[in-house]
């Protein structure tokens, strides 16, 4: 797989030359660099985000000097993703294996032109907070960054908070429409704070505690699985008119290749498992087409008084199957203990939510799709050092996918009689 070669290259010493070349073109000299965090999109390419330390180069021609007052870059990105029209500041380097690599200095992401705006306190204050707020009081925190795809920034000015979502060109308008659609239907999605600016959407915080926090505390014991399903069944029928986005399970074989890149020693095992999960998904009953969230898991849910009070990250809102949203929830839930030892209550919570969801969708379809979701999460797993004890996080996610598939096979092998009595559509 070509992308495995790119991952290996980004983990080698080769980035030093690439980073030095790109920085030199912008008037900076590389002092030091650290290993990258790797972002792998199966079939699209691989991007590495490198922490760097630089200094300005003296005696450079004016056209290559950093802009006066420009802060030195702290991160640089190298990608094998194809860029049709590289923007200014992107250095394209051919000849690395089968790939053409592109390099840029964060935050000048070539596909997220609004990112510099979202990280500029003065401009953020003007469009996200407005009059009466001083730029000097605005504090910005980059919460997440998926190179070439999107970023989320938390902006704080005194007691006021805004979340800024940075999107690709022309994507912000459609996201704003989704938020307004949900607001009109009474679904608890965050409320927008004005129209998008340069493909940056500003929104007010939703109320409630993160479900992940409750899961760590006591397994979210006060959250009824039926209330989790209820927020999905409350999505308005107008969502069915939005574009269809395939669920995670639709590309389980592609994500299997991404998992192979993370665990090359398990390549044959992973490819066989991905094929078996794919077969199980295709042979099970997905149920009717309904409005869906598209990325429904604990990180996108806030809870108040046991019910969902905030439904976040609605970019993938559209037609789909309820079972895929519920499987996304279970797949993410099941891998939490491998992420942090504090999730000791999650195994019991997983049993409780799985049993609750079984009343709304086909249990075989639910587990086969949860297996697919768990497999898609392997590539993003962090590796733990050997001295931290045994298997790494990626292996634990592989084991989760195996367990879900095993459960699906048991239920499928026993047949529907006596297994899903009481099953009802949502």
What is the token pair recorded at 401?
A: 């996918």
In order, the DSSP letters of 99-162 are EEEEEEETT--TT-TTHHHHT-HHHHIIIII-TT--GGGEEEEEEEEETTTEEEEEEEETTEEE
Q: What is the dihedral of CA 116, 119, 124, 127, to 10 degrees?
A: 40
Chain segment 373-398, per-residue pLDDT in tens:
999 999 888 654 333 433 589 999 99
Q: Which of 113, 98, 82, 94 is nearest to 18 (CA)?
A: 94
The winner for highest mean pLDDT among 3-17, 30-44, 311-325 is 311-325
Q: Which of 325, 241, 256 is nearest to 287 (CA)?
A: 325
pLDDT at 174: 95
**Count of other CB atoms within 10 angstroms of residue 192:** 16
Chain segment 254-312, per-residue pLDDT in tens:
999 989 988 999 999 999 999 999 999 999 999 999 999 999 999 999 999 999 999 99
Asked whether the CA dihedral 413, 416, 419, 420 is positive or negative, the reply is positive
Chain segment 166-183, per-residue pLDDT in tens:
999 989 999 999 999 999
* Model confidence, pTM: 0.88
Instruction: Say whether pLDDT at 220 is over 90.
Output: yes
Which range among 100-109, 315-324, 401-410 shows the weakest confidence by mean pLDDT?
A: 100-109
In order, the DSSP letters of 176-222 are HHHHHHHHHHT--PPPB-SS-BTTEEEEPPPPSEEHHHHHHHHSSTT
């Amino acid at each position: 797989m070509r992308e495995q070669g790119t991952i290996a290259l980004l983990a080698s010493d080769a980035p030093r030359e690439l980073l030095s070349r790109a920085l030199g073109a912008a008037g900076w000299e590389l002092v030091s660099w650290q290993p990258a965090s790797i972002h792998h999109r199966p079939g699209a390419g691989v991007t590495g985000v490198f922490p760097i330390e630089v200094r300005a180069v003296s005696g450079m021609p004016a056209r290559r000097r950093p802009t006066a007052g420009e802060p030195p870059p702290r991160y640089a990105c190298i990608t094998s993703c194809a860029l049709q029209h590289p923007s200014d500041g992107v250095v394209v380097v051919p000849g690395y294996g089968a790939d053409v690599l592109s390099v840029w200095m964060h935050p000048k992401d070539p596909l997220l032109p609004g990112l510099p705006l979202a990280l500029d306190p003065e401009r953020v204050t003007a469009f996200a907070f407005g009059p009466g707020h001083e730029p000097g009081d605005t504090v910005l925190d980059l919460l997440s960054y998926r190179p070439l795809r999107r970023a989320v920034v938390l902006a704080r000015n005194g007691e006021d908070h805004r979340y800024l979502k940075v999107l690709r060109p022309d994507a912000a308008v459609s996201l704003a429409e989704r938020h307004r659609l949900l607001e009109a239907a009474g679904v608890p999605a965050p409320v927008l704070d004005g129209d998008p600016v340069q493909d940056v959407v500003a929104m007010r915080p939703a109320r409630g505690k993160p479900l992940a926090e409750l899961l760590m505390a006591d397994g979210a014991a006060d959250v009824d699985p039926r209330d989790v399903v209820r927020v999905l069944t409350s999505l308005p029928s107008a969502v069915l008119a939005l574009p269809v986005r395939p669920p995670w399970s639709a590309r389980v074989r592609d994500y299997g290749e991404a998992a192979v890149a993370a665990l090359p020693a398990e390549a044959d095992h992973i490819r066989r498992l991905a094929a078996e999960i794919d077969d199980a998904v295709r042979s099970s009953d997905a149920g009717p087409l309904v409005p869906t969230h598209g990325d429904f898991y604990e990180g996108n849910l806030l809870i108040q008084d046991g019910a969902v009070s905030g439904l976040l990250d609605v970019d993938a809102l559209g037609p789909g199957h309820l079972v895929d949203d519920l499987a996304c929830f279970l797949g993410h839930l099941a891998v939490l203990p491998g992420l942090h030892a504090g999730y000791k209550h999650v195994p019991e919570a997983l049993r409780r939510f799985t049993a609750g969801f079984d009343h709304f969708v086909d249990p075989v379809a639910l587990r086969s799709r949860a297996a697919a979701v768990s497999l898609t999460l392997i590539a993003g797993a962090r590796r733990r050092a050997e001295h931290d004890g045994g298997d790494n996080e990626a292996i634990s996610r592989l084991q989760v996918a195996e367990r879900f598939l095993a459960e699906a096979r048991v239920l499928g092998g026993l047949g529907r009689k006596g297994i899903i009595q009481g099953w009802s559509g949502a």
